[in-house]
Amino acid sequence: MTACGRPGPTTRHGGSRTRHSHTPALPPHGAHGRTASTGVQDVVVNPAHHRQGVGRSLVEHLVRRYSHCRFFLLSTDHESSPEGKRNHAFYRSLGFLSYEEKEMAGFGLPRNRLDLRNAAP
């Protein structure tokens, strides 16, 4: 999702796709000429194309494309999920570290939270 809540662009490569967003927290090119952050979620590769470098190519392309950003966030399922261990090993092979390893914390809202848009003030 982008900063204003619209879906970000989807990159397609062979039998795969990934959704990425560009979320500036600072002015367009920040105080130091760099955008604050960008993020990737759901790098999905068709199982018929696994182990052929498709996912790696997608992620490497996005890392290069958004190299001007100070922070590149990749969100994925927890390591204890059915595909988590394999996914985490893949992202680590590309140089990504978990928040804990970077001595950081990440927060998100619950999946099933109340929709407050139509609630009375």
Q: Which CATH number is 54's domain given?
A: 3.40.630.30
pLDDT at 18: 54
For residue 62, tell me if it sits in a domain. yes
For residue 118, tell me if it sits in a domain. no
What pTM does this model have? 0.64
Domain count across the chain: 1
pLDDT at 22: 47
Q: Quote the domain boundaries for residue 28.
A: 10-93
Phi, psi dihedral angles at 8 (to 5 degrees): -80, 175
Q: Residues 20-26: what's their mean pLDDT?
A: 47
For residue 23, tell me if it sits in a domain. yes
pLDDT tier at 6, thresholds 50, 70, 90:
very low
For residue 100, tell me if it sits in a domain. no
**Cα 24–13–55 angle (5° rounding)?**
80
Q: Residues 44-60: what's their mean pLDDT?
A: 94
Helices (H), the chain: 54-65, 84-93
Strand ranges, E, within 1-121: 10-13, 16-22, 37-45, 71-75
Which residues lie below 8 Å from residue 16, measured CB to CB, with a gap of 6+? 43, 44, 45, 46, 49, 54, 55, 58
